[in-house]
C-alpha cells in the first residue's frame, strides 16, 4: 500500500530554541508526543499505553528540524518519514511548526487529526494557547 505525503502547519508561541528541545529530546517528546520516550544514540523508543514504536533519528539541525523514520517493518516505504520543521516568518517573527508525515490514503484525515491533537498538547505544555 503506497502512502500519501501530507503537510500541516501550526503557529506556536515559543522560541525556536525552546521548541527544538520539545521536538528533539526524549524528555521533551515525553511531555507531549508520547507517554514516555527513551533514546539510545539515534534510536528512539516511543511508548503509549500498551504499545511501543521505535524510530531512527534520520537528521536534525539545531533549532530548525528533526526527521524520524518509524522502524515498523515497512521495508517498501523507505521514503516515508515524519519531520517537524521550525519556521520563523521573517516579517512577523511568527514561529510555526511544519509537520510532514505519510499515511495510507484512507488514513490521512485521521493522521491529520492526530497531529492536531498532539500539537494541541504541545501548545498546552508550552503555555502557547
Three state DSSP letters for the chain: CCEEEEEEEEEECCCHHHHHHHHHCHHHHHHHCCCEEEEECCEEEEEECCEEEEEEEEEEECCCEEEEEECCCCHHHCCCCEEEEEEECCCCCCEEEEEEEEEEHHHHHHHHHHHHHHHHHHHHHHCCC
Between CA 100 and CA 112 the distance in angstroms is: 10
- Give 85's Cβ-side CA count (13 Å radius): 13
Asked if residues 95 and 15 have their Cβ atoms less than 8 Å apart, the reply is yes
pLDDT in the model for residue 88 = 97
Question: What domains sit in the chain, N to C, each tagged with a CATH number?
Answer: 3-126 (3.30.530.20)
At 128 the pLDDT is: 77
Per-residue confidence (pLDDT) for residue 9, from 0 to 100: 98
Along the 129 residues of the chain, how does pLDDT read in single tens digits? 789 999 999 999 999 999 999 999 999 999 999 999 999 989 999 999 999 999 999 999 999 999 999 997 655 566 789 999 999 999 999 999 999 999 999 999 999 999 999 999 999 999 976
**Whose CA is closest to 93, among 9, 7, 16?**
16
Q: How far is CA 74 from CA 1, 53, 78, 99, 129, in A?
A: 10, 13, 7, 21, 36
Regarding pTM above 0.75, the answer is: yes
Amino acid at each position: 500500500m503506497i502512502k500519501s505525503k501530507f503537510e500541516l502547519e501550526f503557529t506556536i508561541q515559543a522560541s525556536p530554541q525552546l521548541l527544538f528541545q520539545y521536538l528533539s529530546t526524549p524528555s521533551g517528546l515525553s511531555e507531549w508526543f508520547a507517554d514516555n520516550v527513551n533514546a539510545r544514540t539515534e534510536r528512539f523508543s516511543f511508548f503509549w499505553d500498551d504499545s511501543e514504536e521505535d524510530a531512527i533519528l534520520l537528521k536534525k539541525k539545531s533549532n530548525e528540524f528533526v526527521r524520524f523514520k518509524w522502524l515498523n517493518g515497512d521495508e517498501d516505504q523507505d521514503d516515508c518519514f515524519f519531520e517537524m520543521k521550525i519556521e520563523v516568518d521573517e516579517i512577523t517573527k511568527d514561529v510555526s511548526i511544519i509537520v510532514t508525515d505519510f499515511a495510507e490514503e484512507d488514513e490521512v484525515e485521521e493522521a491529520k487529526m492526530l497531529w492536531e491533537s498532539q500539537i494541541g498538547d504541545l501548545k498546552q505544555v508550552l503555555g502557547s494557547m
